[in-house]
Amino acid sequence: MSQSSNGGGDGPALPPSLKAFASSPTGFILGLILTPLLNGVEGVVEKVLWAINYVFFGHSRSSTVGDLGLVDVPVVIATTLIDAGSAIGEPVLSVIGSGVQLLIDFFNWTGPAGLLGAAIVFAIVVVAYSTYLRTAIEIALDFIPGGGAFIN
């Protein structure tokens, strides 16, 4: 028996890509077209997710070093407020501390009568603050219609 010239029998082996095309031409063409398209979509989605992450978290999620994101805004505001508070508070505390030290020295100098004077001064300060606080509350409640009735 002789072989025919149209490829019957054991002819040359076909490459795998040609065999895939021969078995399913539509699938081969769609795979050939869709693979780069899907890879391109994957790259675009990756870039969009990176941009969203960069907007919210900035340069790093764990610290405020580098570019800042939206998540870092409360941290930066809190740090700024704490720094401002300590810049204002330290001189005030040093003045109050020196005033308290002066009172302690004065009452040490006066002896037991100084303790009685301290008690009297403390009572006067408490009464004055409570009176001023009540007046401030009454003034604030007067801005509310019918609010004056709340305190009496």
Q: Return the domain boundaries, the chain.
A: 19-59, 71-144
Q: What is the pLDDT of residues 23-59, one digit of tens each?
A: 877 877 777 788 888 888 888 889 999 888 888 887 7
What does the alpha-carbon distance between residue 145 and residue 150 come to, in Å, rounded to a whole number? Answer: 11
| Token pair listed for 21 | 């095309």
Question: For 68-82, what is the mean pLDDT?
Answer: 82
Q: What is the pLDDT of residues 15-25, one digit of tens each?
A: 887 777 778 77
Residue pair 106/114 in contact (Cβ under 8 Å)? The answer is yes
pLDDT at residue 74 tops 50: yes
Q: Which of 81, 82, 59 lies closest to 71 in space, CA to CA?
A: 59
Measured CA to CA in angstroms, residue 62 lies from 71, 72, 94 at distances of: 11, 10, 36
The model's pTM is: 0.38
pLDDT at residue 6 tops 60: no
| Token pair listed for 51 | 């941009």
Residue pair 66/58 in contact (Cβ under 8 Å)? The answer is yes
